[in-house]
Structure 1
Amino acid sequence: GDADSFCPVSTHKCPFGNDKLSGIPDTSEPKAPTPTPAGDTYKGWVFKWTNYIKGYQRRWFVLSNGLLSYYRTQAEMGHTCRGTINLATATITVDDACNFMITNGGAQTYHLKASCEVERQKWITALELAKAKAARMQAESDDSGDDFSPSAAPGQGAGSQNAEFQSAMRMLGSKVEDLSTCNDLISKHGSALQRSLSELDNLTLTGEAGEKIRQVTERATLFRITSNAMINACRDFLSMAQTHSKRWQKALQAEREQRVRLEETLEQLAKQHNHLERAFRGAAQANASADSKSISGPGKGEVSDDDDNEFFDAMEEAPEFITVPADPQFHKRSSSNVSSFNSEICQDDQSELVPLKKRRTRIPDKPNYSLNLWSIMKNCIGKELSKIPMPVNFNEPISMLQRLSEDLEYHELLDKAAKSHNSLEQMCYVAAFCVSAYSTTVYRTGKPFNPLLGETYELDRQRESGYRSLCEQVSHHPPAAAHHAISDRGWTLRQEITVASKFRGKYLSIMPLGTIHAIFEKSNNHYTWKKVTTTVHNIIVGKLWIDQSGEIDVVNHTTGDRCHLKFAPYSYFSRDVARKVTGVVMDKTGKAHYVLSGTWDEKMEFSRVMQSSRGGENGTEGRQKTVYQTLKAKELWRRNPLPDGAETMYYFTALALTLNEPEDGVAPTDSRLRPDQRLMEDGRWDEANAEKQRLEEKQRTARREREREALNQRSSSVPHENYKARWFEHTEDKITGEAVHVYKGGYWEAKDQGKWDDCPDIF
């Protein structure tokens, strides 16, 4: 195959020409390779020696973060790396005009060949820079004597600000070191060029060749003079930077700490001002009430207890979050702006300032437990995933109800859709929201907990983002969850999802069944769509990776508009970008208005169609492809970056980290209160497995009891009712005709009153 084997490079000539400088024109001044900035990714095709049978084979090499990796094709970058060398301890050797070698202590050796000497020199420069930076980073990680510890900064949010400050200083230091490395490389290459020119001077050539050599020598002399001047200037700058670096850092640190202290002082003054203003208002109202009890409303001299008189720091709301005009009560609730300080405030019904809850940003790191997967899965081929007794070792510490709530990660797309006056443009936002729900799955190979029958999960983000969400497990066989979310910004989302899954040995197929509904209050547009199939590959051997494939039709039942989305499955032979999604937005007559394109793990763009025509190239089944002439693409959606350290926290997003955070006042059936899930999050997996078995046995006992009661009622001719969900009622959907569970109300009222008497005991 493609194993690294010993290669006597000197016996292999460059297949792209002789050993002369074929990449440099004879009649113009040669261009030096452009060095790649340290830390930037450098990619390209390079020929790699494989073995004596296949010789040199073209491979796709990627240089990033001090690591040189290679793949057979560009498409393999998402899932299959063929080899990697750490440049921090590697040796780079130049063999001849096109060949070079990279070895790592004898354990790994890559014999490589570039297309020409210029291309080879570009790679050598990039590799040298990356090697120098990797060596510095390795030395810094071993050095524990840091003059500026992040914990030394005072004040709220000081840790993150200090981390940002340290990151900026490290970047500046890195650039200075890169400059030093480039300086050394120029000196090294200049000396080599000078030696070569000296050898040319010793040759006695006449005619045109001699004239060309004299021109090259003159130009090289001018270049050497300029380079020496630049080297001297760089050396002076480096000396000055190294001398004054610590002084600058201390000065910046002192300025930053002073700014933090000033912010804290201003924040305290603002709070004191609010307290004094409320106290004054209360005293004024009391005096006015004592003086004139007959006046029913506030008089001319009174201070009104209205929200508009509260003190807020002025800051305009971000344009993408402007709310849709609704009733005055909503305006009153949304009028409180974000403070310019780090502590956010909001207005409640009692006209008191209530701080927003600070959500957590970390969970305990995932422990390293070893388990033989094949011993569990070998007898489960062809079975439903929900019927396989899986230990928590393959789970992630959230339930399927919480994963379903993660569909609201990019709720702002629905906010924008609610504000849209054009139904076709609104369709673009709805389609982007449909695609965005899959971005959280790209690295998430863990299995969520199967919810217990009657388990619920609430996601109340009304103060932060304007929406409330409730999920309930309404059926156990087959497992089905009902979800209802409503937003103050003019939209409602509801769905009932049943997951059908099959284990096929090499891969796992997960087929969500059910319809998702999005209804917009202002336009009365009602959209529906279904989910695509999720496939988990390399279940037994290799690194797990996830793919989404299939087609989705997003339909506007009010206007007849339609968007057809296609999720292309991964193919080893395809030249398309991995995880590609394409779509076309059409009106009820079939005329295309927008073209959507992107990937389900990164971003989506849309382009307005100006003209469409049938192309000459035949598509599948002999049909002609449609050619769309579009305007410049605009971005619809882009995935949020993962939090720092996500790889040790199950690759959770910022929202996912908060889903299982303990919260007061939730129903006793809420997923946050599930004990086996909480034990797993805390890293106590053995206890979690034991608790999981207890809960499942308790659920089986409850089911047998219901079956026994049903049998007794049938024998006594008493009508028997099957299991009924607590917060959702079983009905027929008017749009799709499906039997679904729809939210019947009462949950949030029960939460406000703290009455959970009708909730079952499932934990």
Structure 2
Amino acid sequence: MKGRACWEPGTVRSFCNSGCLSKFNQDDSGDEEPTSQSDRSEIQGTLKTLASKLDDLSTCNDLIAKHGAALQRSLSELEGLRVPVEGGEKIKAVNERATLFRITSNAMINACRDFLDLAETHSRRWQRALQYEREQRIHLEETIEQLAKQHNSLERAWREAPALAANTNTPAAPASEKAGNERPQKGEASDEDEDTEYFDAMEDSPAFITVTAADHTQHRRSVSNLSGASGGHPNDWNQEDHVSPTCNDSSGKELQPRRRRRSRIPDKPNYSLNLWSIMKNCIGKELSKIPMPVNFNEPLSMLQRLTEDLEYHELLDRAAKCESSLEQLCYVAAFSVSSYSTTVHRTAKPFNPLLGETYELDRLEDYGYRSLCEQVSHHPPAAAHHVLSRRGWTLWQEITIASKFRGKYLSIMPLGAIHLQFHSSGNHYVWRKVTSTVHNIIVGKLWIDQSGDIDIVNHRTKETCQLKFSPYSYFSRDVPRKVTGVVTDSDGQAHYILSGTWDDKIESAKIVQSSRGGSGSEGKQKTVYQTLSPKLLWKKYPLPENAENMYHFSSLALTLNEPEEGVGPTDSRLRPDQRLMEAGRWDEANVEKQRLEEKQRAVRRRREAEATDALDEECDYDSGREFEGYQPRWFQRRTDSLTGETIYVYKGGYWEAKDRQEWTHCPEIF
């Protein structure tokens, strides 16, 4: 019967889960987009469902009243029959119960009707309130954007005033006044009102909770004994220190006196340029194909930025001495996070390397490693990198940068795997980089965020580390730039918890016990890990003095473009436009940059013409043989046995050529 079906438990449950209440909860979660057409259709569908349920209840009410009246008539007829006294009393009792049932059913149906009427009324009220809040938010954003534009106009007018400019350039200005007149970066980078883009809190929050266990004497470590705990200068790494007993730090050699390297570069000139006037016609294009003036650059190439990943190479030196592969994985994870610490203030774009451009970093006498990068492809831009350390490890990678300008933000997606192998144990780790996002491209101060997951796999032992970079959220109570991770063995058993931020530090805590906890706010069951006190693995070095006027370079970055004798003729240090920019001669640098790019295009056209001639004259079309294109000088293509990808790996010969100063086969790109 239709009326009876309305009261099946499954029907009531489906009504509660029909999406009405859950939809309103989603609308209250802070969704930033205005109500779309699909959202309105879904709300209208929910209201129609409510109206249908109300009609069903009315039908149930009519049926119950009808059948109840029929039942009472039948009972009245029974009372009129000649039956024994005892039977008449029983029929009378049944009649009274039927009357009570009818009254109770009517009361229940009336209550349900009131509930549905109330739900329908409140649904419209909530919808209107939500729409009002969204309209207010949009109005506020437009107001803030107008204020930011007015602020930029006033700031430009202030900079162009001769008297104020003279006061700004006065050498004797006090420190507080200099701080107030700090140079803006990229034209609009000094805005106080930021058109900041926020993310909602992450839905996939880490499904674990850590509880620090009672610390036992045998597990106590001095925080100062762990790498980077002093937070000092890179030279402090080689002072005497002690590591965990599972790491055999037994090197007793005293290092040779190091070459004194530069600690500053010329201050960044005060050039202002409107980014939007250049970028507005480039929406959706590949960043590497957009002709950019050096005003948006920093005086380093992408090859040098790639080499900056080695700033905290000491983490790998320590990892090479670890007997425990799980503890070694903790150091490798900290190293993978440390490479992002240089990006927090570095919003300028590095130079796109020319095809065949190289960059070497020889720190063999200082830190025991040598690094070589080469630009192996121009479209898409790809760089190959190889590092060999005397302290027991080798790192290599091929990184292709895919980038898209989306109007309000710029997405930079590094593609390619990073390989790290330790010589003594044979442990081979592979991981990939996360996505970088540059916000406030149009209005406001530029800022960079890192978000995504990094899965580090030890292909020898099958141990893994899962790192999560949480995107910044205004509504989140977590610290900004948060990173969390879990180190697990080949069976999936967790042994270490990693936590920290990608711009400051990373800590590890050994798990002593794990248990299943209760469900969280999203209904997910979380694991509770009981750990020992956390140990500091990595701490970011403080920036040099006056770094804000030197492109926010770190101590290592200040030395990367320092002239060196004996480097290859294709080395980034010899690139003239980059050298002119570092010296503050930006107008000359822009002219030189255009010359180099045109020279590169001419070489590419000549190479394509040669390829066409070779196909016409020498190739046998039936055999399918093709003309070979550009071949890098120091790297060659191979298939990676672990990932199955085709990558460029170092084929050797560079350092031997440097010793002999034999560069005859190097292309002339500058």
Alignment correspondent of 2:345? 443
Whether 1:751 aligns to 2:668 is: no
Q: Secondary structure at the match of 2:596?
A: helix
User: In 2, Cα distance between the equivalents of 1:755 and 1:686?
Assistant: 35
Alignment correspondent of 2:439? 537
Whether 1:337 aligns to 2:259 is: no
Superposed displacement of residue 717, structure 1: 3.5
1:522-553 deviation per Cα after TM superposition (whole angstroms, max 9, x unaligned):
11000000000000001111011110000010
Superposed displacement of residue 612, structure 1: 1.2
Alignment correspondent of 1:521? 423
Superposed displacement of residue 611, structure 1: 1.1
User: In 2, Cα distance between the equivalents of 1:709 and 1:502?
Assistant: 32
The 8 Å contact of residues 317 and 337 in structure 1, kept in 2 or not, is answered as no
- Given candidates 674, 679, 685, the residue that maps to 2:586 is 685
Superposed displacement of residue 614, structure 1: 1.7
Shift in alpha-carbon separation, 1:497–1:321, aligned structure 2, 3 A: farther
Alignment correspondent of 1:373? 275
Shift in alpha-carbon separation, 1:335–1:426, aligned structure 2, 3 A: closer
The 8 Å contact of residues 321 and 412 in structure 1, kept in 2 or not, is answered as no
User: In 2, Cα distance between the equivalents of 1:535 and 1:139?
Assistant: 36
> TM-score, structure 1 length as denominator?
0.55
Alignment correspondent of 1:405? 307
In structure 2, runs of 5+ residues without a counterpart are: 1-147, 152-172, 178-237, 620-625
Alignment correspondent of 2:558? 657
Amino acid aligned to 1:743 = Y
Whether 1:488 aligns to 2:390 is: yes
Superposed displacement of residue 319, structure 1: 3.2
Alignment correspondent of 2:637? 730
User: In 2, Cα distance between the equivalents of 1:442 and 1:573?
Assistant: 21
Superposed displacement of residue 487, structure 1: 0.3
Shift in alpha-carbon separation, 1:619–1:488, aligned structure 2, 3 A: farther
Amino acid aligned to 1:759 = C
In structure 1, runs of 5+ residues without a counterpart are: 1-79, 84-137, 143-315, 339-343, 346-355
Whether 1:739 aligns to 2:646 is: yes
The 8 Å contact of residues 321 and 415 in structure 1, kept in 2 or not, is answered as no
Alignment correspondent of 1:418? 320
User: In 2, Cα distance between the equivalents of 1:546 and 1:594?
Assistant: 29
Alignment correspondent of 1:670? 571
- Given candidates 192, 216, 240, the residue that maps to 1:318 is 240
Q: Secondary structure at the match of 1:696?
A: helix
Greater RCO, CA 8 A, separation 6+: 2
Superposed displacement of residue 320, structure 1: 5.9
- Given candidates 645, 667, 675, the residue that maps to 2:546 is 645
Superposed displacement of residue 318, structure 1: 2.2
Superposed displacement of residue 337, structure 1: 2.3
Superposed displacement of residue 680, structure 1: 0.2
- Given candidates 559, 569, 580, the residue that maps to 2:482 is 580
**4+ residue runs over 3 A deviation:** 138-142, 319-322
Shift in alpha-carbon separation, 1:317–1:379, aligned structure 2, 3 A: closer
User: In 1, Cα distance between the equivalents of 2:438 and 2:473?
Assistant: 14
Alignment correspondent of 1:218? none
Amino acid aligned to 1:694 = R
Shift in alpha-carbon separation, 1:405–1:141, aligned structure 2, 3 A: closer
Q: Secondary structure at the match of 2:366?
A: helix
User: In 2, Cα distance between the equivalents of 1:457 and 1:139?
Assistant: 40
Superposed displacement of residue 372, structure 1: 1.5
User: In 2, Cα distance between the equivalents of 1:516 and 1:433?
Assistant: 12
The 8 Å contact of residues 603 and 635 in structure 1, kept in 2 or not, is answered as yes
Q: Secondary structure at the match of 2:396?
A: strand
Percent identity over the alignment is 70
Give 1:623-638 correspondences, 5 Å limit.
623-638=524-539
Superposed displacement of residue 321, structure 1: 9.9
User: In 1, Cα distance between the equivalents of 2:265 and 2:610?
Assistant: 43
Superposed displacement of residue 496, structure 1: 0.3
User: In 2, Cα distance between the equivalents of 1:534 and 1:729?
Assistant: 28
Amino acid aligned to 1:617 = S
The 8 Å contact of residues 399 and 671 in structure 1, kept in 2 or not, is answered as yes
- Given candidates 266, 273, 283, the residue that maps to 1:364 is 266
Shift in alpha-carbon separation, 1:582–1:336, aligned structure 2, 3 A: closer
- Given candidates 456, 460, 473, the residue that maps to 1:558 is 460
State which drifts further: 381-390 or 623-632: 623-632
The aligned length equals 433
User: In 2, Cα distance between the equivalents of 1:400 and 1:412?
Assistant: 23
Query: How large is the RMSD of aligned CA atoms in angstroms?
Result: 2.3
Alignment correspondent of 2:13? none
Amino acid aligned to 1:384 = E
Whether 1:569 aligns to 2:471 is: yes
The 8 Å contact of residues 248 and 322 in structure 2, kept in 1 or not, is answered as no
Alignment correspondent of 1:706? 607
Whether 1:477 aligns to 2:477 is: no
CA radius of gyration, larger in = 2
Q: Secondary structure at the match of 1:540?
A: coil
Amino acid aligned to 2:404 = K
Whether 1:452 aligns to 2:354 is: yes
